[in-house]
């Protein structure tokens, strides 16, 4: 498998998907590198999550599963 040629930051993915970035952080923390999630490290100890194309597709599926689970298990 070839190395990814680009990745999208979690903020950009939130814009693309029309989802809350905090929700994406929660879901992404359960993903592995093999799922298409990358950590981007910047200066000053700043870091963020980014997604390859594969990661974006996996994230879309996980969002659907997350919302389905939340609908079946509402908080009182």
pLDDT digits (tens, 9 = 90+) for 4-32: 789 999 999 999 999 999 999 999 999 99
% of the chain residues with pLDDT over 70: 99
| Cβ–Cβ under 8 Å, residues 11 and 21 | yes
Which residue(s) pair with 39 in the sheet?
A: 49
Average pLDDT of the segment spanning 47-70: 95
Domain boundaries, the chain: 35-76
70/36 Cα distance (integer angstroms): 24
Residue 32 C-alpha from the chain's centroid: 10
| Cβ–Cβ under 8 Å, residues 34 and 52 | no
């Amino acid at each position: 498998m070839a190395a990814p040629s680009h990745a999208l930051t979690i903020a950009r993915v939130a814009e693309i998907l029309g989802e809350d970035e905090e929700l994406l952080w929660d879901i992404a923390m359960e993903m592995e590198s093999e799922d298409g999630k990358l950590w981007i490290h910047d200066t000053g100890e700043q870091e963020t999550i980014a997604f390859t194309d594969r990661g974006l597709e996996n994230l879309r599926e996980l969002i659907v599963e997350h919302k389905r689970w939340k609908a079946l298990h509402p908080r009182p």
